[in-house]
Amino acid sequence: MHHPVDRSALDLLDAHLEALWGGADLPLPRLLPAPDGADELVRWALDRLQAIPHEPKDVFRRQVGSLVTEFRSRQCPWNAAALRLFDDVYTFIATGPRRHQDWAHDVLAVLHRKVRDPRGWIRLDWDRDNDARHTVPAYPFDPPDAGQFPDHLHPLEADAAADALAVMTEEWQGEFAPVRHRPDRDAVLADARTLLQRYGPTARYWTNATAAAGDPAPDFITPGLQDTGSHGFLTSEYIKGLDLFDDLGLIAVADDEVGVFWSIGAF
């Protein structure tokens, strides 16, 4: 079982960098004690931050954004793979602790942002600070109750789960380079397998894709994301002129963790 570590220095620096990226005017953070092996990473990031000119502000913010991505990638291979795959597509990627025999309750805790990653690794969440959550608390999700999960999810074999993650790197509309035609297809699939290896060899996988209703090993790569039907987990609320029209989800269930990977189509 993996236990949380003292990540105060890493977490505080990450939050500081993200605030600078968002336009906040903050002084250089005070260097705090870091967990074993993290001091070098913290000092590297602070040195890089000090070297970035503060003017012009738009250039400063872009360079801080690049630093945030590299800082997170350097923390562990899982972070790096997640960012390579999903940093520029509308996805929700998060892991939470497994605390219930009925893991649907743990998945709901992740979707509602009630738990943190047990290992302190990153989550990718475009809507974490979206004020749409005042209207729909789990935005962009309006998931079914735990008791209804069996009606919305189907079991998936590990290889098919990796394929599902791979096609989540595609765009729902106007995809110009589907995974099936990409020269880096093998690298994309390797990163997908890296993400799933976190959950161990006995992990079970579930998807809302209707293609898995009668087959735990459907082909996701050939049809691609745009031709993948699903049982929707998204809200139907129309907020700020944004219509959430389609989704593909994957849930990884291990003995001590649940991983939630979701691709969201919107226009």
pLDDT confidence of residue 11: 83
Report pLDDT for 35.
56
Q: What is the dihedral of CA 24, 29, 34, 37, to 10 degrees?
A: 80
Spatial separation of the C-alpha atoms in residues 115 and 261, rounded to whole Å: 15
What span, in angstroms and rounded, lies between the C-alpha atoms of 30 and 187? Answer: 38
Radius of gyration from C-alpha coordinates of the chain: 19
Confidence category of residue 32, pLDDT binned at 50, 70, 90: low
pLDDT in tens, 122-153: 899 999 889 999 999 999 999 999 999 999 99
> Residue 117 is encoded by which pair of tokens?
């990653």
Q: Quick: pLDDT tens for 170-188.
A: 999 888 899 999 999 999 9
* Whether residue 4 has pLDDT greater than 50: no
What is each CA distance from 241 to 22, 23, 63, 210, 246, in whole angstroms?
23, 25, 30, 28, 16
pLDDT for the residue 2? 44
- pLDDT digit string, tens, across residues 238-247: 998 899 999 9
Q: Once rounded to an integer, what is the mean pLDDT over residues 97-103? A: 98
Query: Residue holding tokens 């990653």?
Result: 117
Token representation of residue 220: 């996701």
Which pLDDT score is estimated for 260?
98
Residues 34-50 as b/e (b if ≥16 CB within 10 A, e otherwise) read beeebeebbeebbebbe
In what helix (H) or strand (E) does residue 246 lie, and over which residues does it extend? strand 244-253
